[in-house]
Structure 1
Amino acid sequence: MTRATQTLLLTVTGAVLVRMAMGDTYLRYVNSWMRWPLLACGALLVLLAVVDMWRDEPKADGQPDHAPDGEPESSHVPRAAWLLFVPSLVFFLIAPPALGAHFAERAQTAVVPAEPSTEVVLPELPTTDPVPLLLEDVIIRAAYDGDTLADRRLEITGFVSRDASGDWFVTQFGMNCCAADATVMKVLATGAEAPADDQWVKVVGRYVADTGVGGGTPPEVTVEDVQLIDAPTNQYR
């Protein structure tokens, strides 16, 4: 691989990072706070490519730079550098979507301790009916203090996933850094026909008491209404 090719790969890789971070595409793969680090890394790669091009210009005598052993420096650029082009090519040709139902069936499910602490005190829910809750809030309340959900109609949002038995869930992924560390948060939906897998929905349902306790099974709601919605820009929590 020549120095010119190495410079091209640096430029392409940097440009891809900048392009991802300038829009919303990066939210499919990493957390929202990583926009500025991605922009900085992309700009740095492009800058390094420009500097490398400047250093690679011929000397005044027209002779190229040489390594200490007398061979051209270009021969010392590892061929493995071609691997840098692979993620850039994948992004431009495929642009993989955010994680969805297929991965949710196989990924680690977010759980709480088998014996939740009795010292956890959760605030009372607002009097709104139905009360809108994040999936993680439903899971925590079901495990630690299901009484706060008793006889309440909940409004929850997520995408549709299923298990091997055909039951369907309102699902969302939570992640700390990137899609590689994502865990599944889901609530079992019963009493209504399931929409298509990966379809985002807003579900109104009544919490089924004593489900999701101890993290062994997900909480359950008896569905009263299912509204099909567009996927949000940021599909992770």
Structure 2
Amino acid sequence: MNRAAAIVILLLLAGATTRTLVTGQYVSYVKAGLWPLLVISVVLLALFATAKGHQPKVAWLLVLPVLALLVVAPKSLGSYAAVNAGTVLTESDEYPPLPDGDPVEVKIFDYASRAVFDEGRTLRDRRVRLVGFTSTGPNGERLLVRMILTCCAADGRPVKIGMRNAEPLPDDTWIEVVGSYVDETAEDGVNGGKIPFVDVEDAIRVAQPERPYE
């Protein structure tokens, strides 16, 4: 690869990364809190473009992420990823009372963790609002799912909640659910994890959130 081509590719990659930052598309690839590292990577790419040195032939491979960022429309992980991975929950040291509100907005991970590890104590007699996408369990049960990331989409894992009295909807439909805790769990067929349930009072279709991952 000649010097001019290397400069063009590095600047294109820096520009494509900048575009994902400006448009917010980067949250389809990495955890939202990692944006400072992406800014640093843009600066480093620009510096490398102006540096002198030998350009190895494999440098052409940098064209691939450029094409991926500029041509391929990003899509967040959905039901296919959810049904092929086990539900992921971690226990907290304490579960304080939910904030005021009726219904109170609760993250899917928080609801599932409280339902499984705290036996729903802080969820009883409360109406909750949950947002996630629909998926189908191994026995045909309707699931409300949200993916959580440690770093990037490659390590995304699902948190699953079963929905009692839910209207059948196509997989990957984003919905806002208002419901209440129900003392019921199912076993995830992938990893044996517990899947808690929510009794659905109302569900409406919504657009995918700007930040689809929890």
Q: Distance in 2 between matches of 1:110 and 1:80?
A: 38
Q: Distance in 1 between matches of 2:106 and 2:66?
A: 38
SS in 1 for 2:59: helix
CA contact (8 A) 1:139 1:212 kept: no
Aligned to 1:190: 164
CA contact (8 A) 2:144 2:163 kept: yes
* Aligned-pair CA distance for 1:84: 0.9
* Aligned-pair CA distance for 1:121: 4.0
Q: Distance in 1 between matches of 2:200 and 2:75?
A: 28
CA contact (8 A) 1:150 1:209 kept: no
CA contact (8 A) 2:161 2:197 kept: yes
Matched, 1:42 2:46: no
1:131 pairs with 91, 99, 104, which one?
Answer: 104
Q: Distance in 2 between matches of 1:193 and 1:24?
A: 32
Aligned to 2:81: 103
Alignment RMSD: 2.4
Give the structure with the higher percent strand: 2
Unaligned stretches of 5+ residues in structure 2: none
* Aligned-pair CA distance for 1:125: 3.1
CA contact (8 A) 1:160 1:194 kept: no
Deviations 1:41-82 (A, max 9, x none): 113212321344xx8xxxxxxxxxxxxxxxxx6xxx332211
Unaligned stretches of 5+ residues in structure 1: 56-72
What aligned pairs does 1:2-151 form with structure 2 within 5 A after superposition?
2-52=2-52, 77-112=55-90, 120-126=93-99, 128-145=101-118, 146-151=120-125
Whichever of the two has the greater Rg, that structure is 1
Q: Distance in 1 between matches of 2:37 and 2:17?
A: 10
SS in 2 for 1:33: helix
Runs of 4+ more than 6 Å apart: none
2:154 pairs with 180, 204, 227, which one?
Answer: 180
TM-score (norm 2): 0.86
TM-score (norm 1): 0.78
